[in-house]
Amino acid sequence: MGSLPLMVAYAALSIPATERRLKVVVKHLELLGETRTSDGTDMKLMRRSNEYIILANGKSLMSSRMHGSEEALATFGCRRARTLDQSCVLVGGLGMGFTLRATLDLLQRTAIVVVAELVPAVVDWNRGPLGPLAGHPMKDKRVRVDISDVSVILHASTDRFDAVLLDVDNGPAGLTTAGNDRLYGDRGLAAGFTALKPGGVLAVWSAREDRRFEQRLRYVGFAVEVERVRGRLKKGGPRHTIFLGYKP
């Protein structure tokens, strides 16, 4: 019996080094929340150590480890709104709250930020386990939450917003809901144009470049700029695109 520990140690050493390293780095995924959207998409909030991940039908939609480009969406989109007293900004897509936090940090105390989020569970997650990640932006008194499709808000608004920040899906090509295609099509962009005040800006986050989308922006009347940023900004990461449409 006294030789058993030695035998165990020998067995452990006999495992290839690469396998031993894999055993060390594998981390357990913990399910924190789950919901099903109106179109049947299964969304899950997961935690792995100190990283939070939102999955859509098993695919990673966003991670708390990489949010620099979401913050850049607010930085570029609010360049004018941050100088205005009583500005009104629409954030379409709450995500993990990083764009909302960056928006609030830029705007004056008299501003109003309307958050349009289609999935009620995402709002609950941001008020719960995701809250500390971005410093609890949902608790800011300037925030107004509208649990609805952002396209509905845009179609119902005229000259209302100084900036509209859209981080819905993975950009102009809808991934999680087919309705996102309508948001980024000609009619959706025309509604965004109408919803903006003169001088306002429509800012759209995208995982990739899209020349046709640039053309659609110009077609409905926007002056267009395109910014390319890294997912972790100066720390690198994948390349993301931010489309900026300026209303004359």
In a domain, 137, yes or no: yes
Six-digit token string for 240: 């993301």
**Residue 33 clears pLDDT 90, i.e. is over it:** yes
Torsion-angle region of 76 (φ positive above 0: left; ψ -120 to 50: alpha; else: beta): alpha
In a domain, 229, yes or no: yes
Mean pLDDT (whole number) for 44-63 = 94
**CATH code, domain carrying 135:** 3.40.50.150
Residue 8: per-residue pLDDT = 37
- Percent of the chain at pLDDT above 90? 73
Locate tokens 């900026």: which residue?
244
Residue 234: per-residue pLDDT = 65
Tell me the per-residue pLDDT of 192-208, one tens digit each, with 9 for 90 and over.
999 999 999 999 999 88
In a domain, 99, yes or no: yes
In a domain, 3, yes or no: no
Instruction: Look up the domain containing 74 and give its range.
Output: 68-246
How many structural domains does the chain have? 1
In a domain, 184, yes or no: yes
**Residue 13 clears pLDDT 50, i.e. is over it:** no
d(Cα 41, Cα 50) in Å, to the nearest integer?
Answer: 25
Mean pLDDT (whole number) for 86-112 = 97
- Residue 66 banded pLDDT, cuts 50, 70, 90: confident
Burial 125-163 (b: 16+ CB within 10 A, else e): bbeeebbebbeebbebebbebbeebbbebbbebeebbbb
In a domain, 13, yes or no: no
- Residue 28 banded pLDDT, cuts 50, 70, 90: confident
Tell me the per-residue pLDDT of 168-180, one tens digit each, with 9 for 90 and over.
877 786 544 556 6
**Residue 10 clears pLDDT 60, i.e. is over it:** no
Indicate the burial class of 48 (C-beta count within 10 angstroms; 0-12, 13-18, 19 or more): middle
Residue 67: per-residue pLDDT = 87
Residue 174: per-residue pLDDT = 53
In a domain, 33, yes or no: no
Mean pLDDT (whole number) for 86-110 = 97
Residue 230: per-residue pLDDT = 86
- Residue 4 banded pLDDT, cuts 50, 70, 90: very low
In a domain, 138, yes or no: yes
Mean pLDDT (whole number) for 147-155 = 95
Average pLDDT, the chain: 88
Residue 153: per-residue pLDDT = 97
Residue 27: per-residue pLDDT = 66
